[in-house]
Structure 1
């Protein structure tokens, strides 16, 4: 497999840095080809703005989506965006690795998503009609590829349990897994989460590495999270609400999982 690891942590000597190196070595030893987008090392530009296009549609007003569409369709994107899109086209699987900061991904990784997922690439794809509402949520440019989160957090696992104060980890990660990954078509694997990062000694690190290694070994075979496809009949179109016969007693995030 071709595997793209998008990595977002500012300190190479951190736990995340060590796990990133471990991941690359484990995958390569298994015969996979790996590319790493180390966003901090790349000095990745976080903000989406008018400079993302080499030629603007209008110099009077910046329109993020329309300018993005024009640049993507006419080969006018900045080089850094185009390179990352090429990596995504190349990859069979993508791993996003990051520390959970304020219940989400670091700003630099969010900026990678906002800039690389251009109009026509990450969104705005496909027919919009009474029968379909675009190629998304199970379809799209990245359909057929796999994706997985590797996440570290200082909180205890119980803090992210079903009744934990931070909310269930699956709910916390839902906007990333369902929105950032499933939306453009990825098959999303269950996340690998490391808790209590401030309390990791050598023995605990060995346990984490062993568990992560097993997840990486099964990257091609792990069953994805069974999110409901948008255009397969479960949703009313164009309202995009679940039909009454699907998960009739459920609401919220869990209703969108089969």
Structure 2
């Protein structure tokens, strides 16, 4: 049986970030994984966690789904704190990868986790800001704009799957069911 850890990185802010969209995405993903025979574990960072349990969950999982709203161009600070606390215990990497006796071993290659991860992001900005040399992100793709989060998982040995994202969330005309159907397509592609 395939094993997946879903991490909810949402952080509540009254009026602008109550968590309904993140919850809808995670519920849809849980349904997908349940229907497809995955064993699912779940962490909702904001509701609290035990470091030792999270260390074990990361070692246990074949896959990881990290859903978070993008706040100020990155993950919410509570999610960053989670990774700082859980990953700095030295259980998910042997070293930074480098070796004095083997110059071919490079920085970031000491990860001990084996598996894959998927980022699921919610954004206020439109998709047109990515891959656009005149856009806010200076021509960067969605994944390039989120490189710091990708590098967290890569440092620990995980490989990326296709990223899912919802944009223009405050515009007022989002079709939630259409967005969740796009999520279904991405989950099928990544996990079937």
Alignment TM-score, normalising by the size of structure 1: 0.64
- Where does residue 5 of structure 2 map in the other structure? 4
Structure 2 match to 1:218: 189
Q: Does 1:20 align with 2:15?
A: no
Q: Give secondary structure in 2 for the equivalent of 1:176.
A: helix
SS of the residue aligned with 1:198? coil
- In structure 2, how many angstroms separate the alpha carbons of the residues matched to 1:12 and 1:213? 23
Please give the residue correspondences for 1:148-163 in structure 2 after superposition, counting only pairs within 5 Å. Answer: 148-163=118-133
**2: CA distance, partners of 1:181 / 1:108:** 17
Shift of 1:113: 0.7
* Preserved contact between residue 150 and residue 192 of structure 1 (Cα < 8 Å): yes
Tell me whether 1:40 sits opposite 2:41 in the alignment: no
C-alpha distance in 2 between matches for 1:104 and 1:210: 25
* 1:173 equivalent in structure 2: 146
Q: State which of 83, 94, 110 in structure 1 corresponds to 2:64.
A: 94
* C-alpha RMSD of the superposition: 2.3
Call closer, same or farther: CA 1:128–1:119 in 2, change over 3 Å. farther
- Does the CA-based 8 Å contact 2:7-2:43 persist in structure 1? yes
Cα contact 1:27–1:217 (8 A) shared by 2: no
Give the secondary structure class of the aligned counterpart of 1:128: coil
Unpaired segments ≥5 residues, structure 1: 45-79, 222-258
Q: Is the 8 A contact 1:136 1:184 kept in 2?
A: no
1:182 pairs with 2:189: no
Q: Is the 8 A contact 2:98 2:110 kept in 1?
A: no
List per-residue Cα deviations over 1:197-228 (Å, max 9, x = no partner): 123547x212211111122123336xxxxxxx
Partner-residue secondary structure (3-state), 1:6: strand
- CA spacing shift, 1:119–1:36, aligned 2, 3 Å: closer
Q: Structure 2 vs 1, CA of residues 114 and 154 (structure 1 numbering), >3 Å: closer, same or farther?
A: same
Which consecutive unaligned segments of at least 5 residues does structure 2 have?
Answer: none
- Compute the displacement of 1:118 (Å): 2.2
User: Alignment length, in residue pairs?
Assistant: 182
Distance change >3 Å, CA 107–CA 29, structure 1 → 2: same
TM-score when normalising by structure 2: 0.84
Q: State yes or no: 1:128 paired with 2:128.
A: no
Higher relative contact order, chain-length normalized (CA < 8 Å, sep 6+): 2
